[in-house]
């Protein structure tokens, strides 16, 4: 009887390990974006294509339906364009700023989610969340004022966070009535097709993957298969065992991983003003505090959300 009793605890522990591995993998998306010697548009295009192929293979292996016969197919495709804009602004923020700056700004997506979500749920924005928002904006302004040579990257990174919040809210509603992996496949398919047409029109299509330098091939495969296909599938799996609160708090470690990895690889170009790290710490503290507040609010409501970044 003992194995049966402990089985849920073992499953939850394994899910926690998988979640931390997934977040650590997401932490490499910004690193790979800087490491790969191609433009932001080409990186996003190849990532979408490889991820589509990966998701297609996984869904065939798991015998999941890929049928486009759903009334929400148009919404999947439009949401894919939001994801495309999110990834483009994120990798542009890396190319024109730094990986550390991009992920620091991207971590504000939780705050934007708190602001945007009431428009969808018809709920009022709480004063507590607005207060945290003021602190987060102040922290961003601090970083903006100190990192004068990265200002374009900061603007792009913050816009990427806003787009991330938008498509995550939409996906949160779509997944309630659709298969998550099928949604992801068609979203990435739409992004790949639209960006591919644009690159073809502007003569900017990248060469075939096998014609790229070896380190770019490795980077693209890791980004598309490990950081996207595997991480997406794992993110769905852990939600079956862990609460959204646990997932949200753990995901907030992603910028910490990216910044530490970036400093280890590029100690000179990724080093920021000491005051900027204070700003990043304030943002992360606000996100953790917001997670605690949401858990407390949800617990009171009970008495009488798809992963997501890089």
Q: What is the pLDDT of residues 45-86, one digit of tens each?
A: 999 999 999 999 999 998 888 888 889 999 999 999 999 999
Between CA 15 and CA 25, with CA 21 as vertex, the angle to 5 degrees is: 140
Q: Which domain holds residue 95?
A: 2-302
- Which pLDDT does position 244 carry in this prediction? 57
Residue 74 forms part of a structural domain: yes
pLDDT band at residue 302 using 50, 70 and 90 as cut-offs: very low
Residue that has been written with the tokens 């931390």 in this structure? 20
> Helix and strand tally (H, E) in the chain?
13, 0
How far is the C-alpha of 155 from the C-alpha of 159, rounded, in Å? 6
Average pLDDT of 221-249?
78
Residue 80 forms part of a structural domain: yes
Q: Which residue has the higher pLDDT, 2 or 207?
A: 207
- Which pLDDT does position 304 carry in this prediction? 41
Average pLDDT of 195-224?
94
How far is the C-alpha of 60 from the C-alpha of 20, rounded, in Å? 27
Residue 308 forms part of a structural domain: no
pLDDT band at residue 89 using 50, 70 and 90 as cut-offs: very high
Question: Most confidently modeled of 120-124, 127-131, 217-221, 239-243?
Answer: 217-221
How far is the C-alpha of 109 from the C-alpha of 103, rounded, in Å? 10
Residue 242 forms part of a structural domain: yes
Kindly list the distances between the CA atom of residue 182 and the CA atoms of 68, 163, 248, in Å, as whole numbers in the listed order. 9, 21, 23
H or E element: which one contains 19?
Answer: helix 2-35
Residue 307 forms part of a structural domain: no
Residue 309 forms part of a structural domain: no
Model pLDDT for residues 162-177, shown as the tens digit of each residue = 998 888 888 878 888 8
Kindly list the distances between the CA atom of residue 243 and the CA atoms of 201, 266, 298, 306, in Å, as whole numbers in the listed order. 45, 36, 12, 12
How far is the C-alpha of 301 from the C-alpha of 31, rounded, in Å? 40
Residue 255 has pLDDT above 90, yes or no: no
Lowest average pLDDT, out of 159-173, 179-193, 278-292, goes to: 278-292
How far is the C-alpha of 31 from the C-alpha of 29, rounded, in Å? 5
pLDDT band at residue 108 using 50, 70 and 90 as cut-offs: confident
72: which residues sit within 8 A by CB, 6+ positions away? 174, 177, 178, 183
Residue 291 forms part of a structural domain: yes
Provide the domain count of the chain.
Answer: 1
Residue 310 forms part of a structural domain: no
């Amino acid at each position: 009887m003992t194995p049966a009793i402990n089985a849920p605890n073992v499953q939850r522990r394994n899910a926690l390990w998988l979640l931390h591995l997934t977040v650590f993998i997401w932490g490499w998306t910004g690193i790979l974006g800087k490491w790969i010697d191609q433009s932001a548009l080409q990186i996003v295009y190849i990532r979408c294509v490889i991820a589509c192929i990966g998701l297609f293979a996984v869904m065939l292996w798991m015998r999941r339906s890929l049928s486009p016969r759903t009334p929400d197919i148009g919404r999947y495709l439009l949401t894919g364009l939001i994801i495309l804009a999110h990834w483009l602004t994120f990798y542009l923020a890396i190319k024109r700023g730094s990986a550390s700056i991009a992920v620091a700004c991207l971590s504000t997506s939780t705050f934007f989610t708190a602001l945007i979500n009431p428009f969808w749920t018809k709920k009022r924005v709480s004063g507590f969340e607005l207060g945290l928002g003021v602190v987060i904006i102040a922290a961003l302004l601090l970083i903006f004022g100190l990192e004068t040579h990265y200002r374009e990257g900061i603007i792009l990174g913050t816009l990427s966070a806003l787009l991330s919040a938008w498509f995550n809210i939409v996906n949160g509603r779509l997944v309630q009535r659709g298969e998550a992996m099928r949604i992801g496949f068609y979203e990435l398919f739409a992004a790949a097709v639209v960006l591919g047409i644009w690159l073809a029109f502007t003569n900017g299509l990248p060469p075939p993957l096998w014609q790229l330098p070896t380190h770019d091939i490795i980077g693209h495969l890791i980004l598309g298969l490990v950081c996207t296909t595997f991480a997406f599938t794992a993110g769905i799996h852990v939600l079956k065992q862990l609460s959204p609160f646990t997932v949200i708090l753990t995901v907030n470690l992603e910028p910490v991983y990216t910044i530490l990895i970036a400093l280890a690889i590029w100690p000179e170009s990724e080093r920021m003003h000491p005051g900027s790290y204070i700003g990043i710490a304030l943002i992360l503290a606000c996100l953790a505090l917001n997670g605690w507040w949401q858990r407390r609010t949800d617990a009171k409501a009970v008495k009488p959300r798809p992963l997501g970044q890089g």
